[in-house]
Amino acid sequence: MGRMIRQVRYLSIAGLLLLVFASVGFAQYTIDLTGVGDGANADNVYVSPYWGTISEGGSIIYTGYLICDDFNTESYLDDPWSAGSTNAGALNGDQKFTASSYSDPFATTDTVTDQQAYDAVAWLANGLLASSNVTDATAQTDYSFAIWDIFDGEAIDPDGGAASLIAAAFAAAKGGYVGSDTTVYTPSPLGASQEFLVVSTPEASLPATLAVELSALAGLIFLMRRRLVRP
């Protein structure tokens, strides 16, 4: 047994490396947490990003980073659950956090709409996955707790780094930022697990990258073959 991610208990780590995107839609998916990223933690709580798989119709459609936006529900590694999906930039009302407004616990006393709150966490999720942050323990902690603080309404900030991120995230959301590249996977039923985010960044487009590399390899083989058969 290891530390809790915040209610995600470390049972085992599986490393499935399939090169696929998560599809967006309103169908039922199966999500399985398989690991705790690189093991970064704060206050004995593992922080995002975690590793997991998403399946549809019995086939795995995504393996990669999962970002938790839900501090107060239990999830377990290697214990799959069902979920529906919503685009963070175009909510359909099925997401887990649907109160009329959310307080900014650090920056202001203003409230924001459901849509602005999810746009803000999508902005933070993108920031967390930036190459300079995704393996940096301090950044992982600050971004994770900033995301959690927006929805749990508590000023939890282990090292004081979440406050400025929350202020920046709300400023972006109120300024027109839309989290259209982020998918929200909400458990069904709601209490079955935590809610997670998947960001579809260009860097995650491994199938496309692989296709380009294979094409380049095929071209190289063709040129080499021409040289070999040339009299």
Give the model's pLDDT for residue 58: 92
Of 94, 149, 101, nearest to 121 (Cα)? Answer: 149
Instruction: Give the span between the Cα atoms of 43 and 3, in whole angstroms.
Output: 9
Assign 85 to helix, strand or coil.
Answer: strand
Query: What does pLDDT average to in each consecutive run of 10 residues of the chain (231 residues)?
Result: 42 32 56 93 91 96 96 92 96 84 62 89 97 95 94 81 91 94 95 95 45 42 36 37
Assign 84 to helix, strand or coil.
Answer: strand
Of 26, 46, 28, nearest to 38 (Cα)? Answer: 46
Q: Which amino acid is at 82?
A: S
Residue that has been written with the tokens 């529900």 in this structure = 73
For the chain, the structural domain boundaries read 8-200
pLDDT digit string (tens) for 59-84? 999 999 999 999 989 899 999 999 99
pLDDT digit string (tens) for 117-152? 999 999 999 999 999 999 999 999 999 999 998 888
Q: Is the dihedral of CA 46, 123, 115, 197 positive or negative?
A: negative
Assign 130 to helix, strand or coil.
Answer: coil
DSSP 187: E
Q: Return the structure tokens found at 180.
A: 């259209």
Give the model's pLDDT for residue 154: 73
